[in-house]
Amino acid sequence: MSTPRRQPIDRLSQSLIVLLAIFIGGMVLLGGPAASKVRNFSWKNRQIGAEDTAFLMTFSRPMDQDSVEKNLTIEPSLPGRFSWAGRRMAYTLNFPAPYGNEFKVSLTKASDRFSGKEAKFAPFEASFKSRERAFAYIGTNGEEQGRLMLYNLSTQSQAALTPKEWTVMDYKPYTQGDRILFAAVERGQNTLQNQQLYTVTTGLNQAASGQIETVLDSDDYQNLKFDLSPDGQTIVAQRVSRSNPGDFGPWVISENKEPRRLETEPGGDFIIAPDSQSLLLQQGEGTAIIALSDAQNEQSGDILDFLPQYGLVMDVAANGSAAAMVSFNQDDPEKRYTQTLFWVSNQGDEKPLLNVTGSILDAQFDPTNELLFCLTSQLLEGDTYQVQPSISAVNLKTDQIDELWTLPPQPSAHMSLAPDGLALLFDEIVPSVDADSSAIANDGIAISTAKIWLLPLYQTSDARLKKQPQPVEPQVFPFSGINPTWIP
């Protein structure tokens, strides 16, 4: 009896079995499975800002978490905490990465969860940068007078962003640092009646600096105070009609939309909330929280809440958990000529932080929302009216107040906290008696000289971790200007 003839498929199957056996044998002889590795690092070759609080690292296999956490290094050091979800690890920073630095992340060894300590791991290394340390200011001398200027501390370079024929009155940087919203008039014009709103590029990204676009003209309405939403999509400007002075109130300017009147009662000072969806507007002796756009249960202009005891909102924590608000103490005869700064939570809790005989000029939450930096003034005793500004820090957990710096007596001052929380900028203004030949601040004060100072807030990383500012001697810049403001 003859042997059955093998079919082609049988020969193919036998060949595949032989090849598979050779492959398995080779893997055994050459050391087993491939090494585990980092498949993705979310900050690789990126430039990050204060809003970037955590990076993600994804592995090819489930990892032994302790082996990763013990061997991961970041240079310069960035304190933070780990969390895991399967093969994905998140590292959340305790505070923003210091600006103007390049960081290297390395993981030279680690073990996966199932292969043991002897398992292979492909060493990983990547880098990222933080944004450049830069700030804007309004020049007061020579060719810089009235111009919006940019100073880059990272490169020690300076640039004028606006033409010398314009006088800049006020400005607000965009969160990404690529543009600045500003109000300006042509030299010689009435400042309040003719200022228009523009944007200008900073050159801190790929675009060239000094590219200007008109946002809001002043043909039919005078443009007064304005604010920019954190997401950069909305501008609110206080406007008054040229033909009808009774037509006065806030307007909303959104990208690619016509400006529209916000249907609410006129008010005073205001800021846009961190959610970019609501406006905190001074109305009467209190503050109204007003919807800026239509939502499911509210319409634009609706009053969402009213805080009758607070006349000004200085700042709102980035996470919306609390606000720094000012009471003018009109209901307390003993404090009627003082101002009190309050911390007010979004749950309605409140506590007084400090009381002054002059004014509460500014208050800014640090990036952790645990410190509040305050610029206040006290009335000096004497025959003439004089106020002396000072800068202090309030620990919102312990209520401890640390005096950081005292400025010379002056009627006005401005302060700006760096986005990474490491330093403060402030100006020192000497008024002039000759308003015709001097620079004018946006609060109407004629300026003789104006210095800009840098105040570093921490001497050690440990002090920063403990939320204990330890300021060093401030440094004055070799140029004159007012209203210095950090670029986010």
pLDDT one-digit tens code per residue, 288-324: 999 998 876 678 889 999 999 898 999 999 999 999 9
Residue 28: pLDDT band with limits 50, 70, 90? very low
Establish if 145 belongs to a structural domain: no
CATH number at residue 73: 2.60.40.3710
pLDDT by residue (tens digit) across 325-361?
A: 999 988 888 787 899 999 999 888 999 999 999 999 9
Measured at the CA of 18, the angle between CA 12 and CA 20, to 5 degrees, comes to 100
Overall average pLDDT of the 84-92 stretch: 97
Span 123-181, pLDDT tens digits? 999 999 999 999 999 999 999 999 999 999 999 999 999 999 999 999 999 999 999 99
Identify whether 254 is part of a domain. Answer: no
Q: How sure is the predictor about 32, in pLDDT bands with cuts at 50, 70 and 90? A: low
- Which of 431, 425, 433 is CA-nearest to residue 479? 425
Q: Say whether pLDDT at 13 is over 80.
A: no
Tell me, what's the pLDDT at 385? 83
Contacts of 88 (CB under 8 A, 6+ apart): 56, 57, 58, 59
**Domain annotation covers residue 193:** no
Per the listing, tokens 């906290």 go with 417
pLDDT exceeding 70 applies to what percent of the chain?
Answer: 89
Q: In one letter, which amino acid is 389?
A: P
**Which among 206, 222, 141 has a CA at the least distance from the CA of 439?**
141
> What is the Cα–Cα distance from 464 to 457, expressed in whole angstroms?
9
Q: Residue 100: which of 44, 149, 157 has the closest Cα?
A: 157
Structure token digits, residue 188: 């010689």
CATH number, domain of 396, equals 2.130.10.10
Question: Is 284's pLDDT higher than 90?
Answer: no
Percent of the chain with pLDDT over 90: 73
pLDDT-based confidence at residue 29 (cuts at 50, 70, 90)? very low
**Residue 31 near residue 67 (C-beta atoms within 8 A):** no
Which of 87, 109, 130 finishes a domain?
130
Q: Which amino acid is at 165?
A: E
Q: Which residues pair with 125 in a beta bridge?
A: 106
pLDDT of residue 122: 95
Per-residue pLDDT band at 221 (split at 50, 70, 90): very high
Distance CA 429, CA 408 (A): 9
Asked if pLDDT for residue 60 goes beyond 90, the answer is yes
What integer is the mean pLDDT of 47-75?
A: 96
Let me know if residue 175 belongs to a domain.
no
CA–CA dist 310, 376 (Å, integer): 17
474 has pLDDT over 50: yes
Q: Domain range spanning residue 317?
A: 309-488
d(CA 301, CA 338): 32
- Examine residue 178 and state whether it is found in any structural domain, yes or no: no
Q: Against a cut of 0.85, is the pTM above it? A: yes
Give the whole-angstrom CA distance, residue 201 versus residue 178.
Answer: 6
The answer for 106, left when phi > 0, alpha when psi is -120 to 50, beta otherwise, is beta
**How far, rounded to the nearest angstrom, does the alpha carbon of residue 10 sit from its chain's CA centroid?**
70
How does residue 281 score in pLDDT terms, banded at 50, 70 and 90?
very high
Query: Residue 203: how many CB atoms within 10 A of its CB?
Result: 18
Q: What pLDDT, on a 0 to 100 scale, did the predictor assign at position 294?
A: 81
Domain count, the chain: 2
Q: What is the mean pLDDT of the chain?
A: 90
Mean pLDDT (whole number) for 260-289: 92
pLDDT (tens digit per residue) in 98-121: 999 999 999 999 999 887 666 789
The confidence score (pLDDT) of residue 15 equals 67
Does the residue 262 lie in any domain? no
Q: How far apart are CA 305 and CA 313, in angstroms?
A: 14
Residue at 413 is within a domain: yes
pLDDT digits (tens, 9 = 90+) for 407-456: 999 888 999 999 999 999 999 998 776 655 456 665 666 777 899 999 99
pLDDT digits 0-9 by tens, 166-218? 999 999 999 999 999 999 999 877 567 899 999 999 999 777 899 999 999 99
What value does the CA radius of gyration of the chain take, rounded to a whole number of Å?
29
Domain assignment present for residue 121? The answer is yes
How sure is the predictor about 1, in pLDDT bands with cuts at 50, 70 and 90?
very low
Nearest C-alpha neighbor of 182 from the set 153, 155, 161: 161
Distance CA 374, CA 340 (A): 12
- Does residue 16 surpass a pLDDT of 70? no
Q: CA–CA separation, 46 vs 251, rounded Å?
A: 37
8 A C-beta contact, residue 162 and residue 180: no
Q: What is the pLDDT of residue 190?
A: 59
CA of residue 253 relative to chain centroid, distance: 21
Place of tokens 């944004």: 131
User: Residue 221 and residue 242: Cα distance in Å, rounded?
Assistant: 5
| Residue-level pLDDT at 337 | 86
- Where among 80, 95, 130 does a domain terminate? 130
Closest alpha carbon to 230 in 170, 315, 297, 153:
315
Q: Which of 92, 109, 130 is the last residue of a domain?
A: 130
Q: 246 burial class (0-12, 13-18, 19+ CB within 10 angstroms)?
A: exposed
Q: Give the integer Cα–Cα distance in Å for 480 and 380.
A: 27
Strands 124-130 and 47-48 turn out to be: parallel
Task: Give me the sheet containing 278-283, strands edge to edge.
Answer: 270-272, 278-283, 286-291, 303-307
Task: Give the tokens for residue 24.
Answer: 């398995």
Mean pLDDT across the stretch 11-36?
A: 62
Nearest to 381, CA basis, from 357, 400, 363, 360:
357
Cα distances from 472 to residues 80, 100, 404, 423, 464, in angstroms, run 26, 20, 9, 10, 14
Q: Is the pLDDT of residue 263 over 70?
A: yes
d(CA 329, CA 359): 12
